[in-house]
A = this chain, B = another copy of it.
Amino acid sequence: MTVTLKDVAMLAGVSVKTVSNVVNGYAFVKPENRRRVEEALAATGYRPNIGARNLRRGRTGFLALMVPELSIPYFGELAGLVITAAQKRGWSVLIEQTQGTRERERETLSSLGPHLVDGALVHPEALEAADFPSDPGGIPLVMLGEHAVDVPFDHVAIDNVLAARTAVSHLASLGRTRIAAIGRNPARGTSSQRLAGYRSALSEAGLSYSDALVAPAEKWHRSVGAAAMKSLLALDSPPDGVFCFNDLLAVGALRAVAELGLRVPDDVAIVGFDNNEESAFSLPSLTTIAPDKTALAEAAVDLVHRRITGDTTSPPQDIQTPFALEIRESTRGGR
């Protein structure tokens, strides 16, 4: 037997309109009513007829999510959270992978349109402002993550400069004085932000900046982190602390230190970025910047939902989601 909105409303003791507001994800429902509706929805097993609903509204029922590579744990985790958040609003998620190249990012952007999706969440790595049409595909677009381009779209990210500064200040607070960075890549906005945070923390701690201690990394992969760490440790004055621009680079660095017979954190303390689940289990476990990925996914889906449901005039929002420094074995003790 099909459960209707009316059945749910009767069980919850609220109006059909209130049930409809909850099901459609509108924000302004009294918390008590929302709770009762959610319980009644669960108890009755109500499922909206999404196909029919989308048809009525002239929607596709799809959101696009553009990411570099799903095999990178940060993006696998983020995509999973976006799918979960979108599902609550009745959307399915179409995933496009760009490998982080400007060409593929531009292609993906230009392929979007209202025949395909109702809105798009876009995590660019190499796009430049000129690559953005003023009205991309005629659909709302939310930018995810840090980027160097100044474009008039909604945007959700953590404060990457502050997060990087927090990571490097932590290393300085441990008495490390030759602090290196791994991950410089001029083509990536995120890299510039994290480099800025690194420099600002060094200067705050009275440490001088040296180009020799900043290792480039075209791809932020484990193997690249291992190779970069080996180069740094081969310097005449090797670093005693390293800030890696993501956890994959840091896991590679951990491995390189061990292969050279050195110890983390005794010889070199290491901090990563992303808080991949892997980092809590590596040996040693990895101190890292932990962005609140759930908050980021939910804020992005909320924003695109608001635009799709009618707010087409308010200025672009810039939402900062929180992060924390997760201190683990790779910087604890030692010396």
Contacts and interface: CB of A to CB of B under 8 A. Distances in A.
Contacts of A76: 70-73, 75-76, 79
A246 to B, nearest CB: 14
Total copies of this chain within the assembly: 2
A283 B283 contact: yes
B71 A70 contact: no
Contacts of A116: 51, 61, 92
Interface in A249-281: 251-252, 254-255, 258, 277-278, 280-281
A255 B50 CA distance: 45
Contact of A94 (B84, B94, B258): B94
Chain A: interface size category:
35 or more
A71 B277 contact: yes
A70 B62 contact: no
A35 interface: no
Interface in A81-120: 83-84, 87, 92-97, 107, 111, 113, 115-116
A116 B54 CA distance: 12
Contacts of A226: 281
A136 interface: no
A145 interface: no
Interface in A60-78: 61-62, 69-73, 75-77
6 A-B pairs with least C-beta separation? A76-B76, A70-B80, A71-B77, A71-B80, A283-B283, A222-B281
Given A51-B116, A71-B80, A255-B285, 18 more contacts: A47-B107, A61-B116, A70-B70, A70-B83, A71-B76, A71-B77, A71-B277, A79-B95, A83-B96, A84-B97, A87-B97, A92-B116, A94-B94, A95-B95, A222-B278, A222-B281, A282-B283, A283-B283
16 contacts: A51-B113, A62-B94, A69-B80, A70-B70, A70-B79, A71-B77, A72-B76, A83-B95, A83-B96, A84-B97, A93-B94, A222-B277, A226-B281, A252-B281, A254-B283, A255-B283
